[in-house]
A and B are shown apart, each in its own frame.
Chain A
Amino acid sequence: MSSEPLLRVENLKTQFFTEAGTVRAVDGLSFEVREGEIVGLVGESGAGKSVASMSIMGLVEAPGEIVAGEITYKGETIFGLEEGPDGELRKRDDALSDEEIRTRIRGNEIAVIFQDPMESLNPVFTVGGQLREFIELNRGLGEDEAKAAAIDMLREVGIPDPEERYEEYPHQFSGGMRQRVLIAMALACEPSLIIADEPTTALDVTVEGQILDLVDDLQAKYGTSFIWVTHDLGVVAEICDRVNVMYLGEIVEQAPVDELFYDTKHPYTNALLDSIPRPDRTVTELEAIEGVMPEAITPPSGCRFHPRCPDAREVCKRVHPEAKVVDDAGGEPHRAACVQHDAFDVGYDESPPLEGVAGGVSTVRDEGSGDSGADSELAANPTGDDSGGGSRE
């Protein structure tokens, strides 16, 4: 596992310079993707997941700009900044040029699947024509070969009568079918990495299930790595190998998928888990996260989650935690950015709890044991006191 990962993102910062101020959409993001794995990027809308994935492709649109960080793909630096002699930031010499990224990376090395299958296909060109164009461009095939490859791939993703459907226009496809076309498009370019940006969000649940199964099968068959951007932990559980949980442009927890679910280390992840409907809980237990996510333009001081965190203490207002290794899960590090953990020696235990934050309802429970049955009985009383808070240590 110590070999060079497929993609490494280090300290990535992407900001949007708007009239009202600078939006720090991605603020110091670090993670990696290894060959053949599906890595989840999870968070509420506005957490910066999509911006992060667009940054990797070098497709951040004005007024956005990547202001710091380094992205390495297969050992090559696809993005890197250095300080020039005049003190201005400039592109590093060893980083690929825009043109090289366009011809060598986009499509043929890293492909994307966008969220909205209804809008992502061009309405005035045939589905086949669009597939063929991208295949020709990224695999250097001739027209006929590209067409054959496109039809094969359409069949592969489960589109019936691919020869006929090849000639049809996007509006003649259903949402699920269009998403299959987009998946076919990504796979047909034979990339090593596919960034799937909320690819199932716009689909209904049964179709979502089919698509997830399809991706699972195809991933096993082609060995392609995925970055799976989603806000849905259910999807994460089903498909991902490792997970990065994002909050306000930062990673707050990073762990293999089972670890994340059964040994949650960050109160935000916990809160996210509590907000998922599950068959083993009644609706009264379903808990929304208190408050709304603050603006990335004026992030709270200290830990960005502290205004909504049930465990927040005085120290959380002051100390801004970076994600640190807090546990080890079979050789995989489990990182979390929460000062509750021993790795942060900032005096959390001595710090007094914050006043007026997140009442007793949004309790973060210690479910590390996985014994949710007992817990849910306890929580069935909605007025249950704040017993969970701070009792972890």
Chain B
Amino acid sequence: MAVSESQLESGREPATEDEEEVEARVGWRYTVARIKRDTTARWGLYVVTIVLFVAIYAVVDSNLSLLTFGLLSDFTFARLLPIFDHPTHIPPPGEGTQHMPPYFPLAEQAWNPLPAGGTLEHPLGTDHTGRDYFTRIVYGTQVSVFVGLVSTFIGLAGGTVIGAVAGYYGGRADDILMRAVETVYSIPPLILIIVFTVFVGGANIWYAVLGVGITFIPVFARIIRSRVLSIREMDYIEAARAAGVKDRHIIMRHVVPNSFAPVLVYATLQIGVTILIVAGLSFLGYGAQPPTPDWGQMLNIAHGYMHSNVWLSIWPGIAIMITIMGFNLFGDGLQDALDPRIDD
């Protein structure tokens, strides 16, 4: 502590600035400004934006019912770009001529040699049924992002309610809720999600989303609870209570909003974790069901073609990695912005 705190702290602002600027350091504007300055957060934001854009593009572009229940029209993306010659006849999946995996054909497939690096039609080649791999990867974004956002939201909402109630009331309610939370926490999430999905719903992406959400309620509940515990003792809460404000009102208007910043950061990071878990779930066959394109499920299928086409196993993994990295970068940046304790 070479220079005293106050000196360095205020040293950041030019001394000519008036006091309002100093006030702003804790508010939203300051946070946004910090995010803008933070390289990590900025890059995270770029990646997340691109991923979201791709996901939304996939929603807008295709028929909604097809989307939800599977069966996507193939080659969409290639057709969109006029420079690509698109085939006039599209064989339905699983029928017609099968496109062989295009990259690095091994000796036994030399009878169907395709140029390495894919073709203009299929930049990433085709899968085992001849569907364009690039299109499927693009559409896979949608499932991952959707699952990540929705299940994180379920966890966040459930965790907020449980954590706020447990933290605010304390005592028995706290004990019971926290024991329950600890119990759920003790079952490895992937195991719990699979059991929930299969036994309650049957392998289905909706139950997977619900299962993931419920499984992560404990994590959020813990954070909210510890925040609430510290905020509960604040003078303004005491004042509100003394003034006869209803408990529910105090929790919703004062306690929750004030404990939200760290939870938001956590939620951003949790989206990445969720996508990771759902990828694993789909890889085992308990997530999105074919023909809905999903990265984990594509890896599952590609696993069977490991020796004939290496790249089928590579692309979905890279897609997963970039997406999760985006959310993690953004979350890290947010954390730095909200907690400048470790200042790089």
Contacts and interface: CB of A to CB of B under 8 A. Distances in A.
A9 interface: no
A292 B57 CA distance: 57
B11 A20 contact: yes
Interface residues on A, range: 20 to 34
Interface in A286-313: 294-298
A23 interface: yes
B344 to A, nearest CB: 12
Interface stretch (A46-54, A179-187, A260-268, A277-285): A46-54
Contact of A19 (B4, B12, B15): B12
Nearest to B3: A25
Contacts of B7: 23, 25, 46, 295-296
Contact of B8 (A14, A16, A298): A16
A42 to B, nearest CB: 15
**Which one of B12, B13, B14, B15 has the greatest number of beta carbons of chain A within 10 Å?**
B15
B173 to A, nearest CB: 33
Interface string B1-35: 11110111011111110000000000000000000
Contacts, number: 52
A60 interface: yes
Nearest to A60: B2
A45 B2 contact: no
A296 B8 CA distance: 9
* Interface of chain B, main secondary structure: loop
Nearest to B7: A46
A295 B2 contact: no
A20 B14 contact: yes
Contacts of A296: 3, 7, 11
* Interface of chain A, main secondary structure: loop
**Which one of A21, A294, A297, A298 has the greatest number of beta carbons of chain B within 10 Å?**
A297
Interface string A9-39: 0000010101111010100000000000000
A297 B1 contact: no
Contacts of A298: 14-16
Contact of A64 (B3, B13, B15): B3
B3 A23 contact: yes
A144 interface: no
Contact of A23 (B11, B14, B16): B11
Interface string A169-189: 000000000000000000000
A371 interface: no
Contact of A18 (B1, B4, B8): B8
Contacts of A294: 15
A295 B10 CA distance: 8
Contact of B4 (A14, A46, A61, A64): A46
A127 B6 CA distance: 32
B2 A64 contact: yes
Contacts of A23: 3, 7-8, 11
B6 A297 contact: no
B10 A51 contact: no
Given A20-B11, A25-B2, 5 more contacts: A16-B11, A19-B12, A50-B2, A50-B4, A51-B2
14 contacts: A18-B8, A18-B11, A23-B8, A25-B3, A46-B7, A50-B4, A51-B2, A51-B3, A64-B2, A294-B15, A296-B11, A297-B11, A298-B14, A298-B15
